[in-house]
Each structure stands twice: as structure tokens, then as C-alpha cells.
């Protein structure tokens, strides 16, 4: 099945992959900006946004999804930007198909193992009585019991869909919850990925530490790590102009 996507612009292909609980909608503003120089494809990964739901959920299958996506659209080679979970998918894809990747930009995630740290968000999602929900505000009030940050709640509530039958989650919540350990899995540490790569981290985020540089450079010998000061994990949303500037310099 083809992944759901939106495209903008003309030029060299650029594929953007969102993070966990996200969707291509998180990238539309930046996608249009990148579209001034590139043919941009914003993609919903499986079990997210408007892409298909499936029981299997791992970086191997998501890399295969991307390979099929490029094949069906006739994209031979592309730049890839991946944030968080999308960055892990992009790394795995580049490991398997280096010839299909021009430059790789990984936003605020490393190739290392990350312990499960989304339990609170999953519990918050499950605390919402989705079948009997009366309004978006009710969902926000319930999420607020465990997630105090308004911005994070607004990000999570983008997964809420309203149809004729009431509310539902766009994402495949059960499959994500059942496979949450997969999200933190490390890239094969014996991999050697020679594609030109930029790891862009948020200065206020703890996803890429200085201690991680040796591992990053051993797996990605043609890489550099750069920092967006004052940004957290959602660096592209918090500092979009800084993100765009650093990404454009790298991709040009």
C-alpha cells in the first residue's frame, strides 16, 4: 500500500519523515518553504496520519515502506529529512539502500538505543474515552490531567479525527502501544553508512549528547553534528527559521 503524502515544489526530490505520534501535517509550513528549491514529499509513516494501519511496526518495515513509496513514484534518489522516529527510519533506509539517498538529515535522534519513555503519553491517550467523546476540548481537559504542557497536548490532539460516527484516533494506537519498544531500537552498530549526513540537535534536548558523537561518527564517518540553540526535541517546530537555514545550507 502506498503511504499517504503531500508534495510541493519542483527540483531535486526531498522526502520528509515525521516522528512518533506525528504526521506530515507537522511539516507543511517548512515543506512549502523547502519546495522553493526541491520537489518535496511529506510522508505519513505507517500507523500514523492518513497512512494505512498494520499490525507490524518496526524500522525494517518502515524502511521497506519508503523503498516501495519511492519505487511507485519513480523517485530514484532523494535527500531525506527524518525527525526522531522518522530519523531512525531514515537511518535504517540509508543503511539498506545507500544508493537511493543523496544527503541525509537526522533531526534530534541518534543511532543508539533509547529506553521506552512514552508510557505517560500512551496512558494519556488511553484515558480519553474516544467512543463517547463529545468535543476536542473534553479530550484536551482529560489529557491535561497527565500532560501539563499545552504545546505537547496540541501536538498530540492533531491525532484526533472527527467523522460522522464521532471521534477516532488517526494513528493506530494499539499497534504503536504493543510495539513501543521498537521505537527506541538501535541501528545496527556494525553498519557503515558513508552518505553525507547532518545530525541536527536541539540545544535543550537530551536526545543527542556529546557522549554520542563517537558512535555517530563511527557509523556515519561522513557526518557532522550541529546544534540549534534554545530548541528542544521538536526543534523544527520551535525554531523553524533556524532549522530551515541549517538544513538548506547542508542540502545545497
Q: Where are the domains of the chain?
A: 5-114+186-251, 119-178
Query: What's the pLDDT at 189?
Result: 84
Tell me how far the alpha carbon of residue 85 is from its chain's centroid.
Answer: 5
Predicted pLDDT of residue 110: 98
Query: What's the pTM?
Result: 0.96
What pLDDT, on a 0 to 100 scale, did the predictor assign at position 144? 96
Q: Would you write out the chain's pLDDT as a tens digit for each of its 252 residues? A: 899 999 999 999 999 999 999 999 999 999 999 999 999 999 999 999 999 999 999 999 999 999 999 999 999 999 999 999 999 999 999 999 999 999 999 999 999 999 998 999 999 999 999 999 999 999 999 999 999 999 899 999 999 999 888 999 999 999 999 999 999 999 998 999 999 999 999 999 999 999 999 999 999 999 999 999 999 999 999 999 999 999 999 999
Catalytic positions, please?
84, 174, 233
Query: What are the tens digits of pLDDT across the range 151-166?
Result: 899 999 999 999 888 9
The second-level CATH assignment, the architecture, of 5-114+186-251 is 3-Layer(aba) Sandwich (3.40)
- Comparing CA positions, the residue from 177, 166, 162 lying closest to residue 124 is 177
Q: What is the pLDDT of residue 72?
A: 97
Write down the residue that cell numbers 530548541 correspond to: 231
> Mind listing the pLDDT tens digit for each residue in 195-245?
999 999 999 999 999 999 999 999 999 999 999 999 999 999 999 999 999
Looking at the DSSP assignment, which residues form a beta bridge with residue 200? Answer: 107, 226
Name 100's Cβ contacts closer than 8 Å, sequence gap at least 6. 67, 70, 76, 77, 78, 93
Cα separation, 142 vs 123, whole angstroms: 11
What does the angle CA 88 – CA 92 – CA 96 come to, to the nearest 5 degrees? Answer: 170
| Cα–Cα–Cα angle for 192, 195, 201, rounded to 5 degrees | 95
Residue-level pLDDT at 124: 96
Amino acid at each position: 500500500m502506498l503511504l499517504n503524502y503531500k508534495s510541493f515544489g519542483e527540483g531535486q526530490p526531498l522526502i520528509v519523515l515525521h516522528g512518533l505520534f506525528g504526521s506530515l501535517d507537522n511539516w507543511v509550513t517548512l515543506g512549502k518553504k523547502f519546495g522553493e528549491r526541491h520537489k518535496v514529499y511529506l510522508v505519513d509513516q505507517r500507523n500514523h496520519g492518513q497512512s494505512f494501519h498494520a499490525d507490524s511496526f518496526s524500522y525494517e518495515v518502515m524502511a521497506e515502506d519508503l523503498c516501495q513509496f519511492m519505487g511507485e513514484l519513480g523517485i530514484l534518489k532523494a535527500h531525506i529529512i527524518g525527525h526522531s522516529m522518522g530519523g531512525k527510519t531514515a537511518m535504517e533506509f540509508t543503511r539498506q539502500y545507500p544508493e537511493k539517498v543523496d544527503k541525509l538529515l537526522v533531526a534530534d535522534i541518534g543511532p543508539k538505543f533509547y529506553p521506552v519513555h512514552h508510557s505517560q503519553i500512551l496512558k494519556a491517550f488511553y484515558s480519553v474515552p474516544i467512543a463517547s467523546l463529545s468535543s476536542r476540548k473534553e479530550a484536551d481537559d482529560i489529557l491535561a490531567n497527565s500532560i501539563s504542557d499545552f504545546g505537547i497536548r496540541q501536538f498530540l490532539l492533531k491525532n484526533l479525527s472527527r467523522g460522522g460516527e464521532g471521534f477516532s484516533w488517526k494513528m493506530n494506537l494499539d499497534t504503536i502501544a504493543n510495539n513501543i519498544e521498537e521505537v527506541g531500537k538501535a541501528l545496527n552498530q556494525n553498519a557503515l553508512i558513508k552518505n553525507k549526513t547532518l545530525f541536527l540537535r536541539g540545544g535543550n534536548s537530551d536526545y543527542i549528547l556529546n557522549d554520542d558523537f563517537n558512535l555517530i561518527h563511527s557509523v556515519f564517518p561522513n557526518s557532522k553534528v550541529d546544534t540549534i540553540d534554545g530548541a528542544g526535541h521538536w526543534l523544527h517546530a520551535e525554531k523553524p527559521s533556524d532549522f530551515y537555514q541549517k538544513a538548506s545550507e547542508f542540502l545545497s
